[in-house]
Amino acid sequence: MRTLAQSLQDHDRGYLRIVAELWGFDQPTGAAPAAARLLSEAMLAQASEISTTIPASANLASTSAQLKPRALSLLPFSAKARFLLASFL
C-alpha cells in the first residue's frame, strides 16, 4: 500500500490546494512533489493529534471499522455517519 505522501505526489498543485483547504491548512508552496510531502506530514500530524484526543470507545470503533473495511463500505453513507458519530457520544 502506498503512503499518503506517495498518493498525493501524483496530483497537481490545484488538487493539493483543495485538499489543504479542506483540512484547514494554508496553501502548499513549492513544486508539487515537495508540496505533497509537506501536506502529507501536516495531515498525519493532525490525524495523530485527533486520535489521541478522542475517547477510547471511538478509537475502538474506528479500529473495528478498519479491520472490517468491506463490511463498512457496503453501508450507505448515512449509516456510516451514524456509526461513526455514535462512537464519539
Three-state SS annotation for 31-53: CHHHHHHHHHHHHHHHHHHHHHH
Please tell me the predicted confidence (pLDDT) of residue 16.
92
Q: Are residues 84 and 69 in the same domain?
A: yes
- Spans of the chain, pLDDT less than 70: 51, 54-89
Query: Which distant-in-sequence residues (6+ apart) come within 8 Å of 50 by Cβ?
Result: none
pTM (two decimals): 0.59
Q: Are residues 36 and 78 in the same domain?
A: no
Please tell me the predicted confidence (pLDDT) of residue 87.
56
Between CA 30 and CA 36 the distance in angstroms is 9
Q: Are residues 31 and 49 in the same domain?
A: yes
Residue ranges making up the domain that contains 43? 1-53
Q: Are residues 39 and 63 in the same domain?
A: no
Please tell me the predicted confidence (pLDDT) of residue 58.
61
